[in-house]
Amino acid sequence: MMKILVADDDPLMVQLLRTGLRAQGWNVLVAADAMQVGMFAMNHSPDAILLDINMPGGTGVAALKRLKQSVKTSQIPVVVLSGTTDPEIPDTVRAMGAEAFLPKPVDLDEVIRLLRELLG
């Protein structure tokens, strides 16, 4: 069973993703702040991570950097989901190793399609 780590502090976004991903038969883990992301990724080895940029405990950009620098987590595909208005963020996170950037509000079907593509 695929394990997807949802790293987002917005309860409505978490609920949308959790419901949609579980309907695909995937196991969903949730990290509510940027510090938990690395710990959860280390301890649970998710198949993919959906990462928000603006969270408590640091930024998603900092969390992405830590994930990609660690031997244990660097190969986990990361999709950044963000409502940021910073026009440079999509290119920045891709340059840091994120597989994709999806603007919020996200289209659940697009998230699922992208995860299927990344996870084969």
Q: How many Å apart are CA 27 and CA 103, to the nearest integer?
A: 23
* Contact criterion met (CB below 8 Å) for 104 and 111: no
Cα–Cα distance measured from residue 116 to residue 67, given in angstroms and rounded to the nearest whole number: 21
> 60, 68 in Cβ contact below 8 A?
no
CB 35 within 8 A of CB 65: no
Mean pLDDT of 62-72: 97
pLDDT of the residue at 58: 87
> Which domains, and CATH codes, for the chain?
3-119 (3.40.50.2300)
Cβ density class 60-80: b for 16+ within 10 Å, e for less: bbbbbbbbeeeeebeebbbbb
Residue 4 has pLDDT above 90, yes or no: yes
Could you tell me the CA-to-CA distances from 24 to 13, 34, 116 in Å, in that order?
17, 26, 10
> pLDDT tens-digit profile of 49-64?
999 999 998 899 999 9
Q: Give per-residue burial for 38-47: e unless 16+ CB within 10 Å, then b.
A: bebbeeeebb
The Cα 79–Cα 99 span in angstroms is 6
| pLDDT tens digits, one per residue of 5-31 | 999 999 999 999 999 999 999 999 999
Q: How far is CA 21 from the centre of its chain?
A: 13
pLDDT tens for 71-120 read 999 999 999 999 999 999 999 999 999 999 999 999 999 999 999 999 98
Model confidence pTM above 0.95: yes
